Amino acid sequence: MSAGPLMPPMASAALGHSWPSPRGPGKFAVALVQMAMGTDPRENLEQGVDRVREAARGGAQVVCLPELFRTRYFCQTEETAFFDLAEPLPGPTTNALSAAARDAGVVVIAPVFERRAPGVCHNSAAVIDADGTIAGIYRKMHIPDDPAFYEKFYFTPGDLGFRAFDTRAGRIGTLICWDQWYPEGARLTALAGASVLFYPTAIGWHPREKEEHGERQRDAWRTVQRGHAIANGVYVAAVNRVGHEIPEGGGDGIEFWGSSFLCGPQGEILTEASAEREEILFAEVDLARIEEVRRNWPFLRDRRIDAYGGITSRVLDDEPWGKGR
């Protein structure tokens, strides 16, 4: 099996830089916005809009913002008052970003704390096309409930499935944060035709664990997403926040580890951000590269779709599966 040649690393850029060269047919430039969030949702939205415009000036055709970028990560505690932060779709966030997308002619992945009905909220992402229309919505499917990540209190699991969306730049998919750990979601989104899997994210260290476990945790996070790229022959983009956010009531908080990145269809890191700084990363998606890799590493061709029935079981502990253990 030939691996094919690895692509050279793509250019990355911090704030104020731009994509360095023209793009040919079947290629498009993406920008990953790594942000630190303040306490004022209005100011965070303004910052997000400014970053989209800056990324567009730098040559980006698709711009992705971090998970729940309008607010600090409120899921560190369980407070009913935080439901007031939710908004409808469409709503203030998508209205502002739709205008920015239309003015700049870029596709925007806009994470939103979606209020669907009283007591029913989702952790969502709207895919806004370059004309300002909403191409589609993804609702986070996997909802964590870990110390300081109490998302089950706030978010109803998604019910729209794993999807890909046609945009002016190309067919793309988005999942959200905790979805990163599940190969099934990545596979289904790739099978729907997505060339890039975007993962808006809010992930970081518990300060007391960082010294002992921190590097292993972050390396596992990188590795599982690079695995999604390899197994599916697609590009994968993780877009995280930075900063140490401490709840108003006190506590250790979370040190968000940044490290946003884009990897190619062989898992090669094309661009990666720091762990501490706000940055905009620029890189290129080349559809011909997906074709090349999949011809040489035909994992999708060789799937045994007749043999995976057990994947829909929680565990394989009942007959007839139990006999094979």
Residue 293 has pLDDT above 60, yes or no: yes
CATH fold of 28-296 reads Nitrilase/N-carbamoyl-D-aminoacid amidohydrolase (3.60.110)
pLDDT at 11 over 50: no
**CA-to-CA distance for 273 and 218, rounded, in angstroms?**
13
CA nearest to 55, candidates 41, 65, 45 = 65
Between CA 219 and CA 149 the distance in angstroms is 19
Q: What's the pLDDT score for residue 122?
A: 98
Q: Using alpha carbons only, how large is the chain's radius of gyration in Å?
A: 19
Confidence class for position 317, pLDDT limits 50, 70, 90: confident
Span 128-132, average pLDDT: 98
Q: Is 63's pLDDT higher than 60?
A: yes
Q: What are phi and psi of 146, to 5 degrees?
A: -115, 165
**What's the pTM value of the predicted model, to 2 decimals?**
0.92
Pairing of β 27-36 and β 241-245: parallel
List the chain domain ranges.
Answer: 28-296
- As separate numbers, helices (DSSP H) first and strands (DSSP E) second, the chain gives 5, 17
- The CA distance from 54 to 75, in Å, is 29
Which residue type is seen at 114? E
Residues labelled catalytic? 67, 140, 177
Q: Which residue has the higher pLDDT, 16 or 285?
A: 285
